A and B are shown apart, each in its own frame.
Chain A
């Protein structure tokens, strides 16, 4: 009975809070009693739309925020006031977990995009859960922004869900004692300068500090970071003893600890250098970097592997690891623009390595060439499903003999390259837009001629070609060839209003998805009935718009976000339209990536068809907002190229 609930621990917790916690991860794993206890420690706050909740690097977190109703955006703002949108979070999502776990101020700006109610869970209680509830630490690993954490999480998932290859499970099989490097230490009375010199000599990022008399007694640790912040930045005298800047006492782990547990400790404490102890003695130091290098799924690791590969066949399995790496990045919450850039970089390196090794195998080409990437590859906007779209441009041969030599060489070269690319997991282009097609393996002068023709006679096929080919960029080889072609294009296309008129009209043929079925326009019939084609209906209008204006105003960029930014900087589009379009475009990219990732994880071939029923209310509303931007873009084109 009873119920003056003020200080009565036996009081019944409000149902609303308990029900809320039961509905969200990872709280749903807790038993009723724990939830009741949590609920009694919560507060509920309301933030009207447009309220700044957290400010990056400034706000100290006293609570974890759990969104009950509404939504927030997470963004960063640099010194010039430039805003980078990182994330939208809706009902059930949390804010501030990372900062609380690390004990740092907020790492992102958080602002409500709707009227938002939050449950506030006190910091200490949240930390207590992280420590005591196994599932909690694992769950919040995902939101850590360091790559290291993402890979750890992936490992965890493999471990739990589908343990496949043993080499994937380093984190769970290797003990830190096996990783530890030679112990480097210095006496506490040594000067800072001596310590720094020592670190340079041995190329280490940290140094243990031992007692002056007892060399085995470790009293502290000094890191690169200490030298930077406590000495150089603070203007400290280099002659001071190193003991003045060391961190003491040293945090230690046992040599038999699993790498995974050590990683957890590093993340929980924010300390990335731990001393390793065996039989009561310090035997060395382990850093987060050492553990990261173990990981097969960090982009950095893959990048190194690709660069070091000496056999083309050795690249096949590496290329097929790319989705794994990307999955990690998405899980980590990286934004779509960065993710597609990363995909492009990794794909470029695969390509570069294949062609380099191929040149070694076949001998140097008779004339310089450049491997062109077209379409979405040209725009650095590939996702998981990427057909090949490529071509070869080579230097104009000086005579008939060289012409024949080039033709023969590049024909064989392209055939082999395309073959290797297929083996790496890049499917053939159904439209034959590949370097193996004789049409698209041509010298510079022929390419110029192609481009001139398409601009001058914008018939449907020519228009289609221009859409794919004008997004070209250099993938490998003599970049100058691509640059010259771009310069030629920009020169020739200026003032070709008939071409632009048709390009703009073509762009506007894609309907703005504003008539809604369950709030959404969807395909009316066929296999993907009741689904939204996010690429064709959502993203393509942005891509097309950016292309029309980029070509019109001589912008060299091919990436849609980069084109939009350049157009804004050139004041060809308004700043407000730029930010709306960039946000809308990136949000949809994110949706598409997450959608494809889910498909890959369930073993389905990735596509672009989203079922609106799978989206949360907030996601739906945000997509709807994104679509309204398309209408504005069309408005700009309409005014520029009206049908008289």
Chain B
């Protein structure tokens, strides 16, 4: 859990207090904290003068606007056909081994979340993952272990 503090107010002032700015505001909160708490969504509703249900209804439509707790680094593994054909399962096993969690879970220290996602547009360099915004492509179990170990040092 994080405390939203003045963040929602700052973001609403930056983007504007109207409905069309709802998604950019939610995206900025997720960009900072990786997920939306109930408290954050209620605050956004107040700032934009819409119901909290509208905010939740919108957020829950979009897979990248997570409403459940996520770690500091969200690892999204592409599960669409080409990545599946080119060794996605080996990448998942490697990540599960290193992080000691299953797909869908978050590590106890709240550093990493591991989730599957639909096509991220790197089929020619499969298998591919996103860690927060950054794509990593043409992965092998060795390559992905190195990448995660670097993130662990951050």
- Are A and B genuine complex partners? no
